[in-house]
Structure formats: structure tokens, C-alpha cells
Structure 1
């Protein structure tokens, strides 16, 4: 395969064979002296000569390099030289060694020297892009050629450098194995892709030492049925931070939310490209990134969330859902509508996408409608033990209270007073109109992720109308919507809640009248200090207000609702099956209000 050096050639001979440059072929002269560079014999003083040194053989081809270290001594140098050069003692190509039958030479595993020679040829051919030649140096020429061609076409490195790294663990006992390093460089990518591989060796049908072909020759993770190719990375998903730039990845309630956040309009987000290892179609194997050529880029989006309040919300929801009761909580900044925290239990984001009746927290909107209809907080609105619409209605608090005012009914959450006065003063559909025009409920909100708008249908009967006045019947809301109701009362103006400041906001058709907002704040403050919300709100200072809600759940445990504010922080919480509003939901909401300080 290689031309042997004439014995009289001088040291430093440059052999150029088959396109290789710089391959220093080894030879001995007649006296047995080595003429290769620093490799020499030394006299140890007793007339004998001892060989020392290490020989490096380097092959350089167009686009490929193979370097192997061979430690040799004694007659080993002759064996190495003749094995590589095709001399008389070589077993390659069917040449018979003295005293050894030719058949044995054809079937025995290749020697280490023959494996090194075969590796040099194979890696050089692969590196210079002669894939037909490289395939022919394996025991499965067509399979190897096809796989190497696919790698060349689908990965397409600008240059490929292959360097031997010495002996390596093999697949079969008795068969040599050599390691090598792949270095692939790509256009427009400053870093190179480097990895290590292993070549195992066998004999071809005609007895030649060849590379034992398998897909892992190309890459150690490549197996039958898998492919390697440069592919576009999935669309970049920004990792949004909170309003102060702090990470949000660790919060359980946000794991499904953050991937929904899209980059800002007009951003220069790029998907990126990478060398990907993919499984066969239909196997369900996820593609694996082996080397990133161009990283995906997406500008960081700062959400309106606050990491400290988010942690408080997560803790509160976790505590109230510990017994398996689904729960959610949303905190909003009334002055801006910015969502500061959003937490929920279970896999469904009920905090913004759920829909259920809000119970007596809806009495905030019923009160706004009554105040606009001429009823004042001091107007006497008797709280009877029962009333009819014609359906019979009752209160949680037993007894008749004929002297109660609207403010009393609100703070004690009297159902019968609101039903009687509502049926007297309000037309069917009034509640939905006030909710939409002044509180923004029922408008199409775009908060930054998918959310559900409020459903407050026009009632068809007096019973349905009565049910709406106390937040039951067909009304469907969630914690996000009811937190906005509390925020609108505190601020006096509806600001659509958002998760990102650049979101397009809906605007309420009308502003909450200033005197109505003032009266609602007074009624909610009284409820927080003297009414049904006093227990969870105890100890909170500053401007505070609250309203409880208890929803009958068809004979099962009641659903607990609570809305409140403290300064520039409004909260709504709900716990399914949590009982009265002041208990589970009230405890959760107050916990977040305490964490938020005065706002």
C-alpha cells in the first residue's frame, strides 16, 4: 500500500502518497540503525544497543488529520515499518508470514499495527471527503458510504479534522480498537464541535484489515434508526423575569404560564440552529441537541409579577389546597392594573381561565348598581330571615333585622336584603351592564396569556335575577376578574389587569362615579373591621377593605370566596369546598396582603 523507503535515503524524507503530506515512513538501514529523527539506538556500555524514544506518525489530508503514537522497541521497529509499508513480513493483503498458513492470516483479527494503518487510511479518506473510498475501507462499504454521505449532506461542516488518540476499549476480545477525535467547524460559528469516537477492526472477505462499520463510527450516540442533522431549534421561548428582573422559573404556578409569553412585537428573536440527534419517526424519542451552531435568541420580557408576592401567593394556595381543595389567588396593583401574583393548585390555571359563581363578593357590583339607582349606604334595607322570588331565599345569619341599612346588609352579607331591594330598584340585565361598563367585566381582555372573560347573562326569570344579585346562578368569574373588582373600588377607575406592561388593554365604557366609589370603599372598610371579613383582616393597617363570599355547592361543602385590598394591592382568592368566605379564602388573601405591606 505504501512505497518503502530506499535504505540510502536521508533523515527527514517526505513521502507523498495518495495525497498525504508529512507522513514520515520508518525504515532501518543495513546495520539496523534507525534513520527517523530523534528515534535512535544507545549503547548501554556492554556492546548491546537499546532503542528509546517514541515515534509519532502524522497523516494530513485535504480536510483530515490522523496522528498515532506508537511506542516501539527491539525488532518492533522493523515489524511496524514492514507492516505499514507492505514488506515481506506483513500479513496485510494476503502476504504469508514465515511458517504461518495463509488461511490463518486471512481470518485472524488484524494486528494493532494493521489496525493503525487501516485507521489512517479510513480517517484520511473521510476527512478529505472521499466517502466512497472511506466506505471501501470498511466491512460494509455501501452502508458506510451512504451513512457518511448523509452526515456530510445533513450536517455539512466547513471542515472536518480527524485525529487519532491511541488505543481504546473495543467491542470484541482480540480485535484492536483505536480512538479518534472529530473536530467539525461550521460557517458563521466561532466554536468547533468536537467529540471522541472509537474504531473497531475486522477483516474483509478478501482478508484486508478494515474498519468494522456501525453507525456509532460517525458519532458514539448514533445507533440504527437514528439520524444526525442540522435543524432549526424550536421557536425561542423567552424566560420572562419579574418586574425587578428576578427569575420566575421556580414557581409551580408559573411553569405552564411562562412558555406562553411571546416576545415583544418587532423583536429580533431568532430560532437558532443546532446539530440534532433524532430518533426514528413514531418512536416518541425527543431530539437531542449535540452542538448549537446558532443559539436561539429572544429578548427578555419583564412581567408585572413580583417574585416576593408570587411566593406569598404560592404558599397561601398550597396551604389552603393541602386537603385536596382546588384553589387560586390573584393579586393586582389597583393604580395600574398590573398583575403582581397569580397562583393556583392542580394542573389547570383556574386563577385566570376558570369560571364559577363568586357568591356574595358579587354584592360589590350589586351595591354599585343600587347606589346609582338612588339607594344610599344609610337607606334602610331590612334583612328578613327569608324572602321569595318566588324561590325561597335565606341568610347564613339567622333571624330578622328590620332596621338594617344597605351598609349593614353589605357588612353582614344579608342575601334577602339585596334580593328584595334589587328586585325593587333594578331591571333585569342592569347588573351585567354595570359590571361591563364600570368594572370592565365581560370585555375582551388580553392580559398576556389566555384568560377567560366574565359571563353575566341577562336573566330570564325573577329567580335568575335574584340569584345574580347575590352572585349565584349563571354568573361565571375567576380570581383574576374579582381581584379587578376590588382594585376598581380601591382606585375608583377600572384598569384592565395585565401580565406585561406592553399588553393592549381594554377600556371600560364608563367610569365608576366618584360618590359610588367612595361609598363602596366605606362599606368594604366596615366589612373588614366590623363585618364578616374582620377575622382574616385583623391586624392589617392602612387603607383596607374586603368582602366575603360563600357559594352553595349543591349539598356539598360551600365554596369560599374573598376579595380585599390594602393600599395599592388588591387580592381575590377562592377555595373550592373551602366553606365560608372568611375561612379558607379569607386566610389566603390576608396572607398575601400582609406580605405586600401597605402597598
Structure 2
């Protein structure tokens, strides 16, 4: 599974479904035009002396006159690349269908003016460097640069699109003159492979709110997420969309900023996310408390198990890396939820004796967070106390290579491509083919396993509900299912084991269970990262009724020290619905 950040596109990709197909074709009445049969090629040999000012102006005027009346063949014949010019001019007429087009030479232009006009961003490049923008910059000695005024009228509006264009006239080998063809002749900011089109545009929402219509602007962790939606959310109803002239690349993808609005879209309504303001407030407070306790970066995600809807996303500090959605670190013993699922599915009973030695060697020496051996432990006790050695020993003897990755994918959706509505990074569990030492480490959430709070909140949510529901931030987004729901026997045993983390006297979260009622379960994690001696990351994932929460505190130590108190703080708030 890749670690590369998924482009949020994130918001645009996630919301294309809501826009009833995203951008669509917009048909307007246009000019008739002449035949588009391919004209004869222009002589390509060039000379080094430019045409006279009068000849350059005459050629430019003739070209613009033919183009403006729809004679694309005649216009193309006045260029040094008839085939390319014909294709581009035909596309202009076909795609834009202007009801009127007025083009007139303004006079000689400077190279500096041309460079400035071509420096604007295009949909395929964020660069403002003219060298990265439009092609065909007139810089050769045999060319004269002319500017021209362009006015295009469209059905549906009394306004006209006006811009200043540029073209270069050159002397050719047969002594005649020709317009030097480049995409920038059509519009200064066009590069090779780009064109103009009319496409739908939609108004940005008047506001982005939580699922109950409450404002979200006071939550610092959500600021970058809200910005994505404010800029990119399309109107859900296609009838409310407007239309505009845009630059498109070879695939038809349009720039986010229209060049000219033909018809304005209707004002958009507030757009609701799945976030719950009350849960978000609790999550913000929880991560800020951990960050303030020694400046440890903290992150949290809360999910509604019954729906998969994301109720909270919090990071502290909010102005730095989005660990909650983009993190790629070892999850430590929270991974034992998935390892335990694989062992239960393989037939290991929760009451089976599973000795917990003080150390165990598979390539390297593995130890626990406690020093004593516990030879009479059961599987459930090992899970509750988080015995690394018991898990590695039993999993090594019971599971086959690849079982862990398959379990993660089949039951928890980890290893599939999540599209939650904004940019996120998927979790990763290596497939079969790893070394025995690496595989042993993966059973306890070390090695090459990487997760973030989003995935592990989903793991807890899956156990609470029994079924994986891909997390989403936008109501109505597709939620591809995992291959299987958790088998009933495995599910009931797994829930009991996660409950023991809170209720058994040796459970890692037992000292923190005061005030927690209802259906609860959890798992702590202590993840070793970096060189020996580097502070461990603190993890905790848990659920209480219809609320699942995971937190990671970088350098926070044991799971019960930092992440667990943060998660429990939010669980006590509950899911207000």
C-alpha cells in the first residue's frame, strides 16, 4: 500500500459525485465557419530579416479578419503551421461557439509585454515563469510582434469577454509573410496541449458547517480542511451552476479560476460536513492538553461506528503537520487488535493458555513493558496487559506469511484506497515475503507497519459495529465495503478482549476507567521510533457505544500515559448524535 499522499483532490474528487458529474458541457449558438479541409502547407524555410512594419500589420490584420468571421481555413493558411493552426482555431470555434468575435490589431508590441501576458498560471502548472507558460515567444530576428484586441460575445450574457492577444509575423523563405503559430496566439496563457472551453462553474458554499449546521470556524485544526471546501465544493444541483470560459489541458481538466464568466452560478447554500462540533471541541481540548504537557505533538480522529462518518479531526499544534490524516508511523500495540483478529480466526480461544515470557527471540530479542514472566496468562490476559512476547510467539507459530495483511484488508479495509473527502494517507501492512524478524515485529505494530489515527479510529469503529465502513467527511460519499464483516464468534471474543483492557486489573487502561459506562473497549500502543533512546509514541484506540476515537502523542511514552487520557476525555463526552 502506498504512503504517497492522496491528492485532495481531494475535496474536488470526493465531491464530484455531489456535483452530478462535476463540470459538464455547455452548448451555445456559434458561428458557422468555413470548410475545415486541410490547407496546403506553408513553405517552412525562414530568413533572418523581419518583415516591414506595414507588411507585418497587413498580415496580422488579414489573419485576424479571417479568424473573426469564422474562416478558420483562410486564417490557418496565413500561418507557418497550417495543420496546428487549423486544429486550434477549429477547436476554439467548436468549443466556445461565440455569437460574435471582434479581433483588431492594436499595433507593435514589446517582448516584455508578451512575457508579462504569458506569465499567468495555467491549469497544468502552478509556475508563473513565462518559460513554463505559453510557447512560441517571439524572440527571433525575423519576427515582428503585434498585439491585438479580442472581444467575444456569448449567448446568455450581454457582457463581452475582452483580452489583449499577441502574435508574431515573420518573413518566410519564399519572401512572403506568415503568422508564426503557437497556442498563445489563441490566448496568451495557453501552452502546448492546452485549449479553451466552456464548462460549468459553481459557487463556493456560503459556509461550511458541522452536521447540525453549527459553524466550524473556531476550530484551528479544521482551518486547512475548511479552506479546501470553501474553494472547491461544487453546487449539488446542476441547474444552479453557471458557465465560464476556462483553460483546459489535454484531458479536459479545467483551471479552478475561470477566464470569463458567461452566466453566474446561483448562490450556494451552507455545506455540511460529518463533523460534530461538540465532539470536535472535546478533541481540540484533548490534543491541546497533551501538546501543552511538554510540547508533544498530538493528533486525534473520532468516528461514528454505525455510519463511518468522521466526527472530529484534531491536531496540536494545528499549524503544523496533519498527523491525524497524513501520519505514517508505527502504531505499536494497537496493531494487536488486528493480530488478535487473525489469531481468533485461526482458532485460538480467548481462554487458551498463552504464556507470556519475559523475552522472546525471532532474529532479535523482544521484550515487554513489564519485566516479569507470566507463564499462566490466557490469550485475553496477554491482550489486556499487552504482552509482546506472547503475541509474537503465538502468531509466529499459528499464522502464515501474509495473514496479517490479509486480515487487515479483508476485515478492516486497510490496504484499500480510502477517499474520505480530503487528502489522507492510507495505512500499510506489508504483504507476505518479509523476513521472519520483520514479520514478528509487525505482529506488535512495529517494523514496516504504518498507520495514523484515522485508520486506528476506524479499526475500533469496526469492532464496535462489526462491519468496516470506510470513513467519510462528506455525507453521501461512496463507502466501499471490506471483503468481509467480522465473523460473529470472532467479533464477540474480540469485543470481550478489548473490554478487558478497561476492566481487568492488569489491563493497561484499567486505572483510567472511572466514569466510563456503556459498551466500551480499547487498546493501548507504545511505538518505538527512531534510534534507541528516542521517546516512544503513545497510542490509544477505543470505543464507547457509537463513538470510536484514536489518539497519537508523539514522544508521549506509554499508551496509557498520554494518548489514553486524551481519548477517554472525548469518550466521556460521547456521541451526541
C-alpha displacement of 1:595: 1.2
2:443 counterpart residue number: 469
C-alpha displacement of 1:521: 0.6
1:237 counterpart residue number: 204
Give the alignment of 1:170-189 within 5 angstroms.
none
1:333 counterpart residue number: 304
SS, match of residue 383 in structure 2: helix
2:417 counterpart residue number: 444
1:163-189 CA-partner distances (Å, limit 9, x unpaired): xxxxxxxxxxxxxxxxxxxxxxx979x
Structure 2: distance between partners of 1:447 and 1:576: 24
2:482 counterpart residue number: 508
1:312 counterpart residue number: 282
Question: Which ranges in structure 2 are unaligned for 5 or more consecutive residues?
Answer: 1-149, 160-198, 245-256, 258-262
Q: Is the 8 A contact 2:385 2:501 kept in 1?
A: yes
Structure 2: distance between partners of 1:295 and 1:595: 41
Query: Which stretch has the larger CA shift, 402-411 or 324-333?
Result: 324-333
Matched, 1:429 2:390: no
C-alpha displacement of 1:270: 4.6
> Paired residues, what number?
363
Q: Is the 8 A contact 1:355 1:478 kept in 2?
A: yes
Residues 311/268 of structure 1: CA separation in 2 closer, same or farther (3 Å cut) = farther
Structure 2: distance between partners of 1:597 and 1:511: 23
RMSD of aligned alpha carbons? 3.1
C-alpha displacement of 1:598: 8.2
Q: Is the 8 A contact 2:525 2:559 kept in 1?
A: yes
Structure 1: which 4+ aligned runs deviate by more than 6 Å? 232-235
1:481-517 CA-partner distances (Å, limit 9, x unpaired): 0000000111111111111121111210111111111
Give the alignment of 1:129-528 within 5 angstroms.
236-238=203-205, 239-261=207-229, 262-263=233-234, 266-268=237-239, 270=241, 297-322=267-292, 323-345=294-316, 346-458=319-431, 459-528=433-502
Structure 1: distance between partners of 2:200 and 2:288: 36
Structure 1: distance between partners of 2:278 and 2:462: 23
C-alpha displacement of 1:264: 5.8
Question: Which ranges in structure 1 are unaligned for 5 or more consecutive residues?
Answer: 1-152, 157-185, 189-231, 274-286, 288-292
Structure 1: distance between partners of 2:235 and 2:412: 28
Residues 245/467 of structure 1: CA separation in 2 closer, same or farther (3 Å cut) = same
Residues 391/569 of structure 1: CA separation in 2 closer, same or farther (3 Å cut) = same
Structure 1: distance between partners of 2:356 and 2:271: 51
Taking structure 2 as the reference length, the TM-score comes to 0.59
Q: Is the 8 A contact 1:529 1:538 kept in 2?
A: no
Taking structure 1 as the reference length, the TM-score comes to 0.57
1:11 counterpart residue number: none
Q: Which has the larger radius of gyration?
A: 1
SS, match of residue 255 in structure 1: helix
Structure 2: distance between partners of 1:296 and 1:253: 30
Which of structures 1 and 2 has the larger relative contact order (alpha carbons within 8 angstroms, sep 6+)? 2
1:70-97 CA-partner distances (Å, limit 9, x unpaired): xxxxxxxxxxxxxxxxxxxxxxxxxxxx
SS, match of residue 256 in structure 1: helix
Structure 2: distance between partners of 1:433 and 1:326: 32
Residues 500/256 of structure 1: CA separation in 2 closer, same or farther (3 Å cut) = same
Residues 270/430 of structure 1: CA separation in 2 closer, same or farther (3 Å cut) = same
Structure 2: distance between partners of 1:445 and 1:300: 25
